[in-house]
Amino acid sequence: MTAPTPPRSIAALHAAYAGGLTPAGLLEDLSARHDALGDPGIFLHRPSPTVLAEAVAALPPFDPARFPLWGVPVAVKDNIDVAGMPTTAACPDFAYLPGESAPAVARLVAAGALIVGKTNLDQFATGLVGVRTPHPIPRNACAPDRVPGGSSSGSAVAVAQGLALLSLGTDTAGSGRVPAALNGLVGLKPSVGAIPSRGVVPACPSLDCISVFAHSVADAWAGYAVMAGADEQDPWSRPITLGAPGAALTRLGIPRAVDLHLDGAEQRAAWDAALARLPGDVVLAEIDLSPFLETARLLYEGAFVAERDAAFGHLVPRAAMHPVTQRILAGAARFTATDAFAGLHRLAALRLATLPAWAQMDALLVPTAPNFPSLAELEADPIGPNARLGTYTNFVNLLDLAALAVPAPLRPDGLPFGVTLIGPRGRDVALAATGAALMRSFST
């Protein structure tokens, strides 16, 4: 028997609750849907029926105005703490049981969310492919022979497969955007520090962000709005004023032809189709992306790799880590403190070099991912395709930018394709309005 299809938006879910659906009934449907799907790689932990029943019993009376996420099922990437559920970062030897939830999770629960499980990931959030895990690999929801995208693989697949309405990922190099593009979802990557990162297993603490996956910009924004806000106990927290989405931005920058690094005719055709279906009031400007792309290379080709080593390289013996994780951390040894400062100085110069571009645009529009590798390609080369996936994502957090990935028209072969809007810190709300406008235009 086919499991019931759950509502695909918060508004539809709340309407169903008003019409008689119960949270307990929804959770039963989600469990049946998971069992019917038969994908053991999505969740690393699912709470017991007793724990879920306790969560339902703890809900306040139904009041979506006071509790905007009332009864909304949310999946959480397994490098973010949820009280009473193990945190492993996809490394079994690292597992621990947190006594309290990360502030972001606690804020979701206070708004009425129901946490339905902890999701699989590229180990220690190091990767963009979603296959660097000792557990079964989550199956891409649109193309099982392709990578699911990472590192937030399980979180994206959970939403795409209807097992959660929202999910939390993390994003250091694109992990909240690439899986969205490869599974046909929205991926909201907030301004750095806008959501507290306390309670998150660090990858690069100076860059790490909690991200949101959803089917719509409105739903992703609802989750973000609940989680955003300063945390006095988090050294990386930075206050932000969100506001409400208003008018869409119309001055969009796009890569020059020389900076458009797309693999194959299918990706290029999808990009061209996206540009052809932009809203009629959009004005495009070709932007020199060379300083942005050079910044991107600093993340894995420069001393920022050493920040990853400093953040989690000491947490378990190297032998307990995934072979590719070991390989990445081993590269940190070639960098010195002098290299680290040289990298920071170069980053400051590149930030300055990107400023003229912002005079020509209000937001940058890029392909979310230039490629869509198969599992076979990753088996043959675990590094190269992953590096390619970060072409238009790796520079964003380094340059203190916000980003919103949205699904675009499908490729000619029917596979998903996505585009990303990028803007200066604090422009999150304008990106949300613009992303929603793009999705409306793409759907017509």
Catalytic residues: 77, 151, 175
Residue 281, CA atoms < 13 Å, CB-side half-sphere: 7
* Burial track 163-184 (b if 16+ CB lie within 10 A, e otherwise): bbbbbbbbbbbbbbbbbbbbbb
List, as one string, the DSSP characters of 159-215: HHTTS-SEEEEEESSSTTTHHHHHTT-EEEEPPTTSS--TTB--SSTTT-EEEEEES
* Burial track 214-225 (b if 16+ CB lie within 10 A, e otherwise): bbbbbbbbbbbb
Which amino acid does the sequence have at 352? L
Distance of alpha carbon 79 from alpha carbon 88, whole angstroms: 6
Contact 369, 156 (CB under 8 A): no
- Cβ-based neighbours of 303, under 8 Å, separated by 6 or more: 335, 339, 340, 342, 343
Compute the residue count for the chain: 444
- Cβ-based neighbours of 226, under 8 Å, separated by 6 or more: 68, 69, 107, 108, 110, 111, 113
Contact 136, 94 (CB under 8 A): no
Residue with the two structure tokens 């790799």 = 305
Sign of the CA dihedral running 301, 328, 255, 423: negative
Q: Is 96 helix (H, G, I), strand (E, B) or coil?
A: strand
Which amino acid does the sequence have at 61? P
By C-alpha distance, which of 206, 213, 178 is closest to 192? 206
